[in-house]
Chain A
Amino acid sequence: MKVVVAVKRVVDFNVKIRVKADQSGVELANVRMSINPFDEIAVEEGVRLREAGIASEVLVVSCGAQACQEILRTGLAAGADRAVLVRTDQALEPLAVAKLLKAVCEREEAGLAILGKQAIDDDANQTGQMLAGLLGWSQGTFASSLDISGGRAWVAREVDGGLETVELALPAVVTADLRLNEPRFATLPNILKANHKPMATITPEELGVDIRPRLATVRVEEPPRRPNCTLVADLPQLVAALKGADGPRGAS
């Protein structure tokens, strides 16, 4: 079974996000970019499936600019077998990405697609679900564990009340939550090997996918600053403050 893992290049989680002066979006110039952390977990899961003999090949796919090659190399160093870059300089919305991934999954005759549950830049949490819908595959989102045997998959999902386990018929789309696994550190020999693993580039046109944006961004702004907190000396003061006319300060 071939496994497709989708990875996205996002602003590194350590970077303090700034909104562009013209409010058209988030400042990306000269900002450190990395692989989306949830996608790292997805790659690790794919590699573990191959090591367990369940997957025959792990393919990492990214959609976007040439620079996405960096995170594809990260995926290859983590153990993926080959990479595909769907290259475009146009900004992509979740639906466009889902369509591109659908085309790749079909071309590759994949049996399983693993994605991060969401990307930490726009937090859309849509691509995996849309991909499953477009492909007509079953889906197990927010996975905290994944077991596969006999053409079926069991996914423990992280839901509000705890864990919910769903049984899926393959092929399927699984999106990775934080606790699915702990990604390993890439080894030096694998980093060196990654340079020799195949990386193909393809365009949305070649895949016959329309990636025109359907949404318009009106304005991006910073969240409102929280009002200053007031320190109270003891419990009676706290109660008094809570009962005060303005209501509790600093709560939101």
Chain B
Amino acid sequence: MSGYTAPLRDMKFVMTELAGLDQLSSLPGCEEVTPDLVEAILEEAGKFASGVLAPLNAPGDKEGARWDAGEVKTASGWKAAYDQYVEGGWSSLACDPDYGGQGLPKLVATAVMEMWKAANMAFSLCPMLTNGAIEALSLKGTEEQKETYLPKMVSGEWTGTMNLTEPQAGSDLAAVRTKAEPQADGSYKIFGQKIFITYGEHDLTSNIIHLVLARLPDAPEGVKGISLFVVPKFLVGADGQLGARNDVHCVSIEHKLGIHASPTAVLAFGDRGGAIGYLVGEANRGLEYMFIMMNEARFAVGMEGLALSERAYQQALAYAKERVQGTELGVRGGPKVTIIHHPDVRRMLMSMKAQTEAMRALAYTVAGATDIAHYHPDPAQRSAKLAFVDLMIPVIKGWSTENATEIASTGIQVHGGMGYIEETGAAQHFRDARITSIYEGTTAIQANDLVGRKMAREQGQTLKAVVGLMRAVAAETGDLGNEEGPVIASALDQGIDALERAGTYVVSTYGVDVKAASVGSVPMLKLLGIVAGGWQMARSAVAAQRHLTEGTGDAAFYRAKLVTARFYADHILPQASALAHTVVHGAPGALGLAEDQF
């Protein structure tokens, strides 16, 4: 079993050199967020992640959450850790100061979130879902709803859930059947069953605030007939005190491949006369509200991909430095060596390291852009950054989570047979990672969003602008005057060529043959992820070389960054050309068979 140490050195590098940390405090509303303050926050968050959350990760996986007669007991230590998390004020980090939040920008919240997720993903899901519910209520709740629920959710005294899925309504939420019947007092009675509700029931807090999608009696069919309701587990009186137990009950929790300590509830609403709920926002606009929050949630799941990749890498690296097996290649009769001396183990570790660093660089850059889109006084700046963020969200989500499964699998491979044994701990990361490319929209859903809404609908305009930025970085990298620069620049340019080929095909095909364009959508998403990652690694190389030339900072770290960027250029970026081929030529082979030929 290995621990977790927050990769503060790389986090700070990415935040400072790539994501604009130094400029953050010049944005209106972020004046206090100086690099020193951010450093202090990251240090302390890192201590909490390593000292409190990480040690519970493996025991939580083994013990899991347990259901007994409608109640759910979280794994040993969960409640104490949650209390400590709340006392530490961490739940309020990015929330609105009007309701007791600390209002810290997205870039800072992102780095801290990576730590929680890497230390203990099953734990981190509870605050993550609460944040989603807080956002929904903040955006669309009435003043009374906000006053009633937000302060206690922001402080962590209560948690929140999102109730979307039903057995027949998974990716297709138009099929939602849960009913909401209007009552004389303006409230509603909710009837129906929801599944896959993360932390839908638990013993961590005195109340749970469920946000539920349901249909009004006169609602139109399909997506335009779904409304959003707030349904507390315990009704809240006008004085803020908890009242009667509401008619929402946990019927069971799921037995899952991973995240065992995160209770995934089946919730029955209204089995005993109707669960009392209150409409959030306007009737029939619930799904639209969900989409407003979608970016946030999808980004957060993408961070899970990054976080688990980091965790799997740390575990594999520790083992590779400790496990003695065989002699050094080419040294006959030499002493036994640790397996990190073997070239293929090196290759595996570098592939984990390089992709993890590329994902971090891209995710933090998007987080920094989100802050500019939110806080910058110039509307042109805001809208340009927002377009970039919108383009990249499905990539962060889809690419990082698909990578995580592969990277965690490589982590097992580094361990050899011991990796397949549960006690080693490498297998848990693999199992935990597997959900991330499914929930909050599968990779295919992300890819549809990318090629349809983010590329075809706007004729690839934002992508073209991003390609322009990438080309400039490639040129700069080629002129670095070191050994790595030209290698990185050439691979990046070829990757950008592939991106343009595939992008042009998708934009021109989507309107005339949407099926053909869709076959290539997931490869297109991976292609954009790989090239955008290469772009960020090239930016990293430029920054590293600048420090080496100036003689400032930790030369060993910057040298390693250059070598890692080179590895990415030679081992990861070449996949872009293959993916572009599949995007452009892959449809006939995928769609050619009749159904009965399968």
A residues at B contact (CB < 8 Å) = 14, 30, 70, 73-74, 77, 185-192, 194-195
Contact = CB atoms under 8 A, between A and B. Distances in A.
B41 A188 contact: yes
A-B pairs with the 10 shortest C-beta distances? A188-B89, A30-B554, A186-B44, A187-B89, A187-B88, A189-B89, A185-B48, A191-B40, A195-B37, A191-B41
A69 to B, nearest CB: 8
B351 to A, nearest CB: 26
Contacts of A192: 32, 37, 102
B40 A74 contact: yes
B36 interface: yes
B44 A189 contact: no
Contacts of B93: 188
B44 A77 contact: yes
Contacts of A195: 32, 34, 36-37, 40
Contacts of B88: 185-188
B90 A188 contact: yes
Given A186-B44, A188-B89, 14 more contacts: A30-B553, A70-B36, A70-B40, A74-B43, A77-B44, A185-B47, A185-B48, A186-B88, A187-B87, A188-B90, A188-B102, A189-B89, A195-B34, A195-B36
Contact of A185 (B40, B51, B102): B51
Contacts of B184: none
Interface residues of B, number: 27
A185 B84 contact: yes
25 contacts: A14-B5, A30-B556, A30-B557, A70-B36, A70-B39, A73-B36, A185-B44, A185-B47, A185-B48, A185-B52, A185-B88, A186-B88, A187-B88, A187-B89, A188-B41, A188-B88, A188-B89, A188-B90, A188-B92, A189-B102, A191-B37, A191-B41, A195-B34, A195-B36, A195-B40
B40 A194 contact: yes
A48 B47 CA distance: 21
Contacts of A191: 37, 40-41, 44
A161 to B, nearest CB: 32
Contact of B40 (A14, A73, A189): A73
A17 to B, nearest CB: 16
A99 to B, nearest CB: 30
B335 to A, nearest CB: 11
A194 B32 CA distance: 12
Q: What is the interface of chain A mostly: helix, strand, loop, or mixed?
A: helix
Interface in B553-584: 553-557
Interface in B440-464: none
A187 B556 CA distance: 33
Nearest to B47: A185
Contacts of A190: 89
A30 B102 CA distance: 32
Contacts of B52: 185
A200 B138 CA distance: 41
Interface string B321-337: 00000000000000000
Contacts of A189: 89, 102
A190 B93 CA distance: 12
A189 B93 CA distance: 9
Contacts of B555: 30
A73 B36 CA distance: 10
Contacts of B41: 188, 191
B212 to A, nearest CB: 31
Interface string B531-567: 0000000000000000000000111110000000000
Contacts of A30: 553-557
A189 B41 CA distance: 10
B520 to A, nearest CB: 45
A71 to B, nearest CB: 10
Contacts of A70: 36, 39-40
A246 B36 CA distance: 57
Nearest to B87: A187
A188 B48 CA distance: 11
A194 B37 CA distance: 9
A67 to B, nearest CB: 11
A40 to B, nearest CB: 10
A238 B102 CA distance: 63
Nearest to A194: B40
- Interface-centre pick from B52, B89, B93, B556 (highest chain A CB count, 10 A): B89
Nearest to A185: B48
- Interface-centre pick from A30, A73, A74, A191 (highest chain B CB count, 10 A): A191
Interface string B247-287: 00000000000000000000000000000000000000000
A74 to B, nearest CB: 7
- Interface-centre pick from B84, B87, B88, B557 (highest chain A CB count, 10 A): B88
Interface in B81-125: 84, 87-90, 92-93, 102
Contacts of B39: 70
Contacts of B32: 192, 195
A72 B90 CA distance: 22
Contacts of B37: 191-192, 195
A195 B48 CA distance: 20
B496 to A, nearest CB: 34
A186 B39 CA distance: 13
